[in-house]
Amino acid sequence: MELITTTKKRKAAWIQNEGFLAALVLALCLMFALREPLKATIEPSDRELKALFFEHESDFQRLVEMCRADSHLTRIAQDFTWLEDNTSWPRKNIGISKERWDEYRKLFTKLRLKGGVSRENLPSPEIYFIASAEGIVPSGSFKGYVYSPVPLSPTVDSLDGKLAASSKGSRATAFKALKGTWYLYREDY
């Protein structure tokens, strides 16, 4: 009788473990299945970016002026800065005062710039305003605004959706004219 009871307990434990594993596998499958549709709602559309730009054009221009004044910084985000000669983080010298950084952060929040601003392509005069950043190299994308006193190319009619690969390898960048020296941009890896 004891042997039958022990066998039943083992079988019950195995079924419980198998049930747990099945639930875990199901949860993981659902997570991956829902990932793509949710991701699509995170990235702003061209229409949304354009509307936000025209609603807050003076704030975007204020950020251009601030970036020009703080030209020794090549990247300013909510939680880090890069200096022209030092991209390590954390570091004591953030390159600007805490009050100045807070002013940037306030504008980033107001303008929905999740990635802050970037001037990494110095000496090129463009300033990138990063509205969304998904994934990592080699499988990611950036989308946002660009201020450029020189014309940018290639230009396209829509930046909604992944770009075709360019001759630079798996990296593709395109622009959509917005107003004068302003563009929307998308970069895919």
The distance from CA 30 to its chain's CA centroid, rounded to whole angstroms, is 24
Question: Residue 101: its pLDDT value, please?
Answer: 97
Domain range for 36 is 1-42
DSSP states along 100-160 = HHHHHHHHHHHTT-TTEEE-TTTTS--EEEEEEEEEETTEEEEEEEEE-SS--S-B-S--S
Examine the domain organization and report whether 74 and 133 are in the same domain.
Answer: yes
Picking from 136, 151, 144, the residue whose alpha carbon sits closest to that of residue 63 is 144
Examine the domain organization and report whether 15 and 98 are in the same domain.
Answer: no
Examine the domain organization and report whether 144 and 177 are in the same domain.
Answer: yes
Examine the domain organization and report whether 89 and 3 are in the same domain.
Answer: no
Examine the domain organization and report whether 119 and 182 are in the same domain.
Answer: yes
Examine the domain organization and report whether 104 and 35 are in the same domain.
Answer: no
Query: What's the CA angle centered on 75, arms 70 and 76, to 5 degrees?
Result: 75
Examine the domain organization and report whether 95 and 160 are in the same domain.
Answer: yes
Examine the domain organization and report whether 33 and 64 are in the same domain.
Answer: no
Query: Tens of pLDDT along the chain (189 residues)?
Result: 555 555 555 555 545 566 554 554 545 444 544 444 444 447 899 999 999 999 999 999 999 999 999 999 999 999 999 999 999 999 999 999 999 999 999 999 999 999 999 997 767 889 999 999 887 766 788 999 999 999 999 999 999 988 876 555 577 899 999 999 999 999 988
pTM here? 0.75
The distance from CA 8 to its chain's CA centroid, rounded to whole angstroms, is 54
Examine the domain organization and report whether 32 and 63 are in the same domain.
Answer: no
Owner of token pair 């039943």: 8
Examine the domain organization and report whether 12 and 90 are in the same domain.
Answer: no
The count of structural domains within the chain is: 2
Question: Residue 135: its pLDDT value, please?
Answer: 79
Owner of token pair 């949710």: 38
Examine the domain organization and report whether 102 and 168 are in the same domain.
Answer: yes
Examine the domain organization and report whether 37 and 48 are in the same domain.
Answer: no
Residue 167: half-sphere exposure toward Cβ, Cα within 13 Å? 1
Instruction: Please say which residue of 42, 57, 74 terminates a domain.
Output: 42
